[in-house]
Amino acid sequence: MAEGVDVAILGGGNAGYACALRAAQLGLSVILVERDKVGGTCLHRGCIPTKALLHSAEVVDHIRSAGDFGVLVGEPSVDWGKVLGYQSAVVTKLYRGLQGVIKARKVTVLAGSGVLVAPDAIEVTTPDGGKQTVQARAVVLASGSYARSLPFIQIDGEAFITSDHALTLGDLPASAIIIGAGAVGLEFASLYRSFGVEVTILEALPRLAPGEDEEVSAELTRQFRKRGIKSVTGVKVTAAEASGNGASVTYETADGKTEVVTAERCLVATGRGPISEGLGYEEQGVRLERGFVVTDEWCRTGVDGVWAVGDLITQPSLGLPIPHLQLAHVAFAEGIHVAEQIAGSADPALVDYLGVPRCTYTTPEIASVGYTEAQAREAGYDVEVARYQWAASGKASILGEPHGFVKSIAEKGGKVLGVHMIGPRVTELVAEAQLIFNWEAYPAEVAALLHPHPTLSEAVGETMLHLAGKQLHGA
């Protein structure tokens, strides 16, 4: 049976369902093809469940430090089953809410595995084995990504796991090796340590959080060391095998030495790959690069009537100093942008990828937007830098977290180029930094705005005062 609609979307993750909701809002008929659950990786296996675990970990840390604030309690004990139950409850509530919104917008969700069989058609194999062809004047590819591993590591769900397994395993390991120091690896390292796990991080690049400003990476390394998290950077993992004690990982250091580390479990967090194999993309003329769908800044694939969004895509033609960001809020923006194009909106807003806020929910938190200092200099800017240490912040001292800093970068005599933060609650502060960067504000313009005292937001204001030549507090 063939069914014709305005828009057919292959994949119901953040990018897919955002596109569906916006398209329906604009009066288009939409079919959303999803083989699992709408909400995708972020809701079910990524952002939301991970942050729920991180919040439980934060509660444990607060209890441990309660005596510093005059509140006397004993060492907290953790019921891992209840932690997972809390995580599941959060996901379930949000999933039901999303289903309600999709139903209210009259988006048709077609359960099954889809394959692009023509530029205007998706063939869907339903759970009962039946087949249905959806025809549409516009097709959006949003098939998402999967947790990558290394070719010589056998992911068995016990000794060697990905983040998918880590969210559902019924026990906490006594010790863990984490391969990869991007956001996923760092967040699991942080929450594992809070729950008492001995953690070793192995990273191929020279520093933790390699996509962040170098000073942020250095501060994170110091803070992780204080927490008892061991990290080894600039290494090449060469072998891994399950042993009687769990996992054994062999790596080579930068100076050519071979080392072996063992732990009860090894979490492989080496990034996410595109889900594109066997979905008919290349057969219909869609260009792939390392499995990613290549698009332009409008998320167009080069095949008339076919767009692609979310973790699935790469955009080499943009020439940015950062890769395409596999973030939920980027996926939302791309889905909205494509829906507006399909609906014929006069001026759909392009996604400013350099202006996307980036967050890592470790302890301490990391948040940033715009150029790092090194990127700004490489781009040819004559820069000036201001730093505000949390040790000078009244609110950070009250919270007992006076560690880290806010670092702002501006063109001399010109606009703000980037803001980089590590410390308490900075993932909630980056929204202001995003506005400053994306509106190309000058430091003096922001310095004229009042930041309430005592708040953490003052730190952003203090760096702008500094850049404007009006520094008040701090060294």
Q: Show the tokens assigned to 374.
A: 């090194």
pLDDT at 296: 96
Which residues, given as ranges, of the chain have pLDDT below 70? 1-3, 474-475
Q: Are residues 124 and 60 in the same domain?
A: yes
> Where a domain ends, among 270, 299, 326?
270
Domain termination residue (choose one: 270, 297, 317):
270
Q: Find the CATH number of the domain harbouring 410.
A: 3.30.390.30
Whether residue 30 is contained in a domain is answered as yes
Domain match, 12 and 33 both:
yes
Residues 10 and 132 in one domain: yes
Distance between CA atoms of 326 and 271, rounded to whole angstroms? Answer: 10
Domain-embedded: residue 388: yes
Same domain membership, residue 288 and residue 249: no
Residue closest to 216 by CA, chosen among 369, 323, 321, 411: 369
Residues contacting 156, CB < 8 A, separation 6+ = 242
Please tell me the total number of residues recorded for the chain in this structure: 475
- For 428, the domain range is 364-467
In a domain, 151, yes or no: no
Neighbours of 129 (CB within 10 A): 7
> Could you tell me if 65 and 12 lie in one domain?
yes
Assess whether 11 and 141 both reside in one domain.
yes
Q: Residues 82, 222: one domain? A: no
Query: Which position among 44, 55, 453, 473 bears the catalytic label?
Result: 453
Domain harbouring 278, CATH code? 3.50.50.60
- Any domain includes 154: no
pLDDT at 97: 98
Residue 26 lies in a domain: yes
Question: Rounded to whole angstroms, how far apart are CA atoms 212 and 215?
Answer: 8
Runs of H (alpha helix) within 149-265: 163-166, 183-194, 214-226
As to burial, measured by CB atoms within 10 angstroms (0-12 exposed, 13-18 middle, 19+ buried), residue 222 is: middle
Q: Which two tokens stand for residue 300?
A: 């167009």
Whether the CB-CB separation of 245 and 79 falls below 8 Å is answered with no
- Give Cα separations from 161 to 9, 55, 265, 267, 330 (angstroms): 31, 22, 8, 5, 27
The strand pairing partners of 109, in sequence order, are 32
Number of domains making up the chain: 3
385 shares a domain with 306: no
Task: Please give the pLDDT value at position 244.
Answer: 82
How many Å apart are CA 305 and CA 106, to the nearest integer?
22
Coil, helix or strand at residue 71: coil
Same domain, 15 and 138: yes
Token pair of 277 as six digits = 């194999």
For the chain, the distance separating the N- and C-terminal CA atoms, rounded to the nearest angstrom, is 71
pLDDT, one tens digit per residue, over 286-315 is: 999 999 999 999 999 999 999 999 999 999
Query: Is 453 marked active-site?
Result: yes
The answer to whether position 78 is within a domain reads yes
Per the domain annotation, does 200 fall within a domain?
A: yes
Shared-domain flag, residues 132 and 206: no
| 265 and 313 assigned to the same domain | no
Asked if residue 411 is part of any domain, the answer here is yes
Domain co-membership, 18 together with 107: yes
